[in-house]
Amino acid sequence: MTAPTVRPGAETPADREHGPREAGLTSGTPTTVTVASGGGRTYPVRLETGTFLRPRVMRRPGPGLRVVLAAVRASLCAGDDLRLHVNVGPGAHLDLVDPNGTVAYNARGGRAAWRVDITLAEGARMTWTEPSFIVSEGADVLREITVSLAAGARLAWRETLVLGRTGERGGALRSATRVTHGGRELLVEDLDLRDAELRELPGVLGGDRVIGQVAALGSVPDGPAGPHRLDLAGPGVLWRALARRTYESDRVLDEAWRAAVR
């Protein structure tokens, strides 16, 4: 039997399963987390280990479900294309935790991607904590987060972006976020930090290398007011803090996080 011919650049079954290929990236198997609600509790429906992350259930008080993302192998290296798909069913409550954080290593002329796709059904609730996402010297990373919230769904999300390890200036980062609520755009942002000279200008990052963020999406909690808070046009609030050290941004955002998860 003759193997089918695939034209260069044509979509393959693997592309339809794992997403389209991009120059310089190797698509791996996505990690999938799907949970549902029933009998007064949230339970796992589908926990699939991907090329880079393995989801594991941990005990937690209350009716919600806590899932921890454990690393399968070192990432992000040149060519890595990490993908995470999260689906939270109607009325379910997921607490997603990444205990280790992510380090994008020196790509030596290559590039890497880190992509998350989250869907929350009606009345679903999710908390998502990411420790430091570190972009090492020489790294070139595309970071994409897509969130779809149905009516009554709520997401509390905390992240910390760090440009460079200790003593480093940091590599190239482009972080794109798109959030919809009830089918309408709630947050669309493209943060382009690829050019170190430009991002270090006054009015951009200046001398700071840490960007901390707390997002309450699908709700408008009271939380702290002040220059770190941005109320969105729809039901959502962002708190951001720039700092030279992660503990400095954490100190600013801890109160906002308590408000977001309340």
Nearest to 196 by CA among 185, 186, 209: 209
Q: What element of type H or E holds 13?
A: helix 13-18
CB-CB contact of 210 with 162 (8 Å) = yes
User: In the chain, what percentage of residues exceed pLDDT 90?
Assistant: 82
For residues 239 and 253, give the distance between their C-alpha atoms in angstroms, rounded to a whole number: 7
Q: What single DSSP character describes residue 169?
A: -
Mean pLDDT of 133-143: 97
Neighbours of 31 (CB within 10 A): 22
* Main-chain phi, psi angles of 177, to 5 degrees: -130, 135
Nearest to 15 by CA among 83, 64, 71, 61: 83
Identify any residues that bridge with 233 across adjacent strands, giving them in sequence order.
none
Strands, DSSP E only, in 121-171?
125-135, 140-149, 154-163
Residue 12 banded pLDDT, cuts 50, 70, 90: very low
User: Would you call 110 helix, strand, or coil by DSSP?
Assistant: coil
CA distances from 98 to 71, 146, 238 (A): 9, 17, 20
| The pLDDT of residue 9 is above 60 | no
- Which residue carries 């570190």 as its tokens? 134
Residue 18 banded pLDDT, cuts 50, 70, 90: very low
Residue 21 banded pLDDT, cuts 50, 70, 90: low
**Each residue's pLDDT tens digit, 201-247:** 999 999 999 999 999 999 999 999 999 999 999 999 999 999 999 99
Mean pLDDT of 105-113: 95
Residue 27 banded pLDDT, cuts 50, 70, 90: confident
User: Would you call 49 helix, strand, or coil by DSSP?
Assistant: coil
Identify any residues that bridge with 141 across adjacent strands, giving them in sequence order.
112, 173
Q: What single DSSP character describes residue 89?
A: -
Exposed/middle/buried for 81, CB within 10 Å: 0-12, 13-18, 19+? Answer: buried
Nearest to 32 by CA among 52, 12, 16, 15: 52
Residue 59 banded pLDDT, cuts 50, 70, 90: confident
**Each residue's pLDDT tens digit, 75-98:** 899 999 999 999 999 999 999 999
Sign of dihedral through CA atoms 125, 122, 18, 23?
A: negative
Instruction: State residue 60's pLDDT score.
Output: 75
User: Would you call 190 helix, strand, or coil by DSSP?
Assistant: strand
| The pLDDT of residue 137 is above 70 | yes
Name the average pLDDT for the chain.
Answer: 91
